[in-house]
Structure 1
Amino acid sequence: MASDAAVTGMGGVIDLEEKTAVGTTNKVPAMPMIFVNALAQRFVCEDTTYGYSSRAVFQQEAALGKPTYMIFGEANANEPGSPWTADQLTADVTAGKLSQAATLTELADKIGLPAANLEAAVTRWNEDVAKGTDEAWKRRTGLKPIEGPYYAHRNRLMNLGATGGLRINQDGQVLDTLGWPIRGLYAAGLNAGGWLGPFYPGSGVAIAGIVQQGRRAAQTLIRKRV
């Protein structure tokens, strides 16, 4: 920017749920759990890519002005995709990072959610997974019941990077504020902006920019020597 480089695609970030990293890979299923908003209602398919689930978390928290939570049972923490062991569950409860309760009513009271709605959400989930499906959100992994003791993890988004960056042309050359290439300056991947769209879709899409744009920039550099 000090060289008069233009920027584009600013105003967005790449988020990830910091504790669970849910949806980062389809090789590991999401643990049995549900996301609920401040009304104790599910609002997203929890095993979708983090680019979408994180955006849904952000939107719900922005709209209602309150946190969202992951709700699960003690047995669920032993399933694939869980970031917790039995010892870590105890440690996080002690540290105040997890809320624990014997009943959903008690859990709802601890985290300030409507108890009736939370019970309804978990009941609907349990009824669906007993039939081997998630009729509400079409989730495909972690379809097991949520039973007490119950836990609530407050979702916290971690910033992985920005969607904006330097404006480039198809050859990877950085453009100035008038749209002309800046001699000897190239960008690719997340250093470049404007090619990801309105938000990051997840699943390693940034790697495509690194490979394709980086290759074009190298070819241009060899061809033009500038």
Structure 2
Amino acid sequence: CETAGCRRVRLLDYFGEASTPCGNCDICLAPPETYDATSAAQKALSAIYRTGQRFGAVHLIDVLRGKAGPRITRWEHDKLSVFGIGEDVDEPAWRGVFRQLVAMGFARVDHEAHGALRLTDASRPVLKGTQQVSMRRAVTRVRSTRRPLRSGSVPVADLSAADNTLLERLKAWRLTQSRTQSVPAFVILHDKTLAEIARQRPPDLTALHEIAGIGAAKLERYGAALVGIVAGRVGD
């Protein structure tokens, strides 16, 4: 069983019947350790959506982990906002995330489309950030070995107090954007990109474009706002 909930509830739910935990199955008697998997679920569901709901878990995991193979580049999935956002989670852990998303009804396998994963209506609250997702503990964090294409990312711990203040302002702006667009915050900009902006404090669009994670589309859409936020802190 991939889910952390009662087996009876899951079985009856499959047949469209609502029920309460039985208290007698192995899951009820010895509940597995769970963790807040909301962020991982949002990333996985976003990968399904951004790639057109046409690919299986293997391809989606490569996208999330930033593995730019021939198939990834042919479909230009290395240019998506979700490319590489899950590089800190290993492949077995991501497989577990996708299996549990299917088991919980947030995604389904389209067997007529060679096993492509597709979103269900139940995934919408998760993507919008209004529903929390708990999963069985199975994620193993690994040290990232992927090098950024341009400027390197910087740990938040390396930022000065003033830089961290700017970083909080950037995160507040990102939160507003994510709520306005009804998308997860990382779709707007990754944490490491915001941290690098806070450290480098780019004075103009040209300098901002040199930061990893700021491509042409991000620059056009958010560049003026980001430079404006930075400008308010340059004198610190």
- Relative to total residues, which structure has the larger helix share, 1 or 2? 2
Higher relative CO (CA 8 A, sep ≥ 6), structure 1 or 2?
1
TM class, shorter-length? under 0.3
Q: Which structure's CA Rg is the greater one?
A: 1
- Relative to total residues, which structure has the larger strand share, 1 or 2? 1
- TM score, norm. by length of structure 1: 0.23
- TM score, norm. by length of structure 2: 0.22
